[in-house]
Amino acid sequence: DTAVSQTPKYLVTQMGNDKSIKCEQNLGHDTMYWYKQDSKKFLKIMFSYNNKELIINETVPNRFSPKSPDKAHLNLHINSLELGDSAVYFCASSQGQSGNTIYFGEGSWLTVV
Amino acid sequence: TQLLEQSPQFLSIQEGENLTVYCNSSSVFSSLQWYRQEPGEGPVLLVTVVTGGEVKKLKRLTFQFGDARKDSSLHITAAQPGDTGLYLCAGVRASGTYKYIFGTGTRLKVLA
């Protein structure tokens, strides 16, 4: 069973489109995250939710909007996609926010053309 | 400003060689983790260190947390092709927002 699953794994779309990436974790964790990994492999946190509440919102354009319908799900919606949004987006989860293992999904490879 | 700098950024070595990867910061961390990421997958935790000066061993991998909890190192003995991947350190700051800060990454390639 996949602990953290995200879909789609690959997404190629045109500039200006709106797209969503879905994420689900079956670990019973109370904290979920979205990370962005750029072409240089730098992994940067975008959002963090704890018990469905937003606790971390890094400097991310307003075009990115996370939604957490329940503790097990954290979806990412992106409006008006731009070329610079091309990256790998990782969903992750942990129990608590400090020191515990972060479990990552396999990543969603977004290419904006 | 990148809070966690890793060095080297790239490393290509022959099977059987030893290597050390460094993770440095000017900030103090309450804990520090090392992850390995293979192509097409997400990072997977290798180890967590929480005490200054702590040393942990995982088979051929030795992890050390600096005495001041500002830096860490990963030493691999007799590297194997299966060690190839992206190594990421991640720290949780001792003060401020509780969040993991990932390092800049070290891409290791071990040649057979």
Predicted confidence (pLDDT) per residue in B6-31, tens digit: 999 999 999 999 999 999 999 889 89
How far apart (Å, rounded) are the C-alpha atoms in residues A28 and A6?
A: 16
C-beta atoms of A98 and B98 within 8 A: yes
The upper half-sphere exposure of residue A70, i.e. CA atoms within 13 Å in the direction of its Cβ, equals 5
Inter-chain residue contact A92 with B30, CB threshold 8 Å:
no
Distance from CA of A18 to the nearest CA of B (A): 24
Given a cut of 80, is residue A46 above it in pLDDT? Answer: yes
Q: Report the alpha-carbon distance of residue A82 to residue B105 in Å, rounded.
A: 26
How many other CB atoms are found less than 10 A from the CB of residue A70?
A: 9
A6 min Cα distance to partner chain B (Å): 11
Looking at residue A15, its pLDDT comes to 97
Task: State which H helix or E strand residue A20 sits in.
Answer: strand A19-25
Measure Cα distances from B53 to A68, A113, B38, B68, B72 in Å. Answer: 39, 48, 29, 8, 9
Which residues 52-111 of A are in CB contact (within 8 Å) with B?
A: 56, 90, 92, 97-99, 101-102, 104-107
A18-to-A73, A83, A106, B36 alpha-carbon distances in Å: 20, 13, 22, 32
Nearest to B104 among A42, A98, A104 (CB): A42
Average pLDDT of the residues in B61-78: 97
User: Would the CA dihedral through B45, B49, B53, B54 be positive or negative?
Assistant: negative
Q: Give how far the C-alpha of residue B76 lies from the chain's centroid of Cα atoms, to the nearest Å.
A: 11
- When pLDDT is averaged across residues A69-90 and rounded to a whole number, the result is 96
Q: Which of B102, B107, B108 to mutate to test the interface with A (most CBs of A within 10 A)?
A: B102
Q: Which of B32, B29, B47, B48 is nearest to B95 (CA)?
A: B29
Distance separating alpha carbons of residues A70 and B33, to the nearest angstrom: 28
What's the rounded Cα separation, in Å, for the pair B80 and B16?
Answer: 6
Q: Do B88 and A43 touch (CB under 8 A)?
A: yes
Is residue A105 scored above 60 in pLDDT? yes
